[in-house]
Amino acid sequence: MSWTLLVDGTAQSHVDLTDPTHLEFEYVRRLGHVLDAAAPPAAPLRVLHLGGGAWTLPRYVAATRPGSGQRVVELDGALAELIAARLPADGLGLEVRVGDARAELARVPDASVDVLVVDVFAGARIPAHLTSVAFVGAAARVLAPGGLYAANLADGAPLEFAKSQVATARAALPELAVIAAPDVLRGRRFGNLVLVAGREPLPLAALIRAAAGDPFPARVEHSRALGRFCAGAPVVTDATARPSPVPPPGFFGRPEPQPDSSAQP
């Protein structure tokens, strides 16, 4: 049985209760690739999910890595209650906390997280306070040795937001890669990009294989190619931070604009 969660017309999550390893959305599969590559198969991970949705990735981790310790942070308390009631995840060992992602991140102990997944949207945009170098620095603080930071971004041509996010992450974490469809990387369409970062060399070979083998193949940009991608992009501070761009109509399930029924001919 599958469910899709929409919030204000935006598709936030897809959950297959009969098969939690089924990841419907492309960007969620790419985040799943990061989780798969973070440790040997079936080895438990300590995962912090900023942004809960319908708990798709926490369910995936619980199914593929039994015994993992997972915390989910969700700002919308009513949404968290709805998911718990309608799409329960009993027995999966999830700790769900209601609160702001950055505020809750500040309470997490140093070096206590193996994978930090950031997938936070207010409607269809990433909140500004989760895009700054101070935020990424706070994320870096909680990463254990070898830990990975994975953030879902959304952008379109000329990709100024995505490029600045790569430059910002690089200011806090030295190893980076971006996973995205080739046409998104070229700015031919609006889409998702998954930013992966850490202090130690990333599992690039595993990520490249997984991205290439996906039903909708993606490319993994890293090293010099990624440096060229973000060349000249500014590092975002709290003072300069802005939300991610407004997606075009129809993206993320956003409805097309409707004519104003009150308008007179």
Cβ 171 vs Cβ 139: under 8 Å: no
Give the Cα separation of 207 and 178 in Å (integer): 10
Residue 260 in this model has a pLDDT that exceeds 60: no
Give the Cα separation of 68 and 44 in Å (integer): 4
Give the Cα separation of 60 and 244 in Å (integer): 27
Q: State if pTM tops 0.85.
A: yes
Residue 203 in this model has a pLDDT that exceeds 90: yes
Q: Prior bond to 257 cis, omega within 30?
A: no
- Comparing 60-69, 180-189, 195-204, 246-255, the range with the smallest average pLDDT is 246-255
pLDDT, tens digit, for every residue of 79-116? 899 888 988 888 888 999 999 999 999 999 999 999 99
Structure confidence at residue 259 (pLDDT): 39
Give me the CATH topology for the region 2-250: Rossmann fold (3.40.50)
Give the Cα separation of 230 and 244 in Å (integer): 16
- Comparing 14-28, 72-86, 170-184, 248-262, the range with the smallest average pLDDT is 248-262
Instruction: Output the average pLDDT for the chain.
Output: 91
Question: What's the mean pLDDT in 27-54?
Answer: 96
Question: What's the mean pLDDT in 134-151?
Answer: 98
pLDDT, tens digit, for every residue of 206-241? 999 999 999 999 999 999 999 999 999 999 999 999
* Sign, Cα dihedral of 225, 229, 235, 236: negative
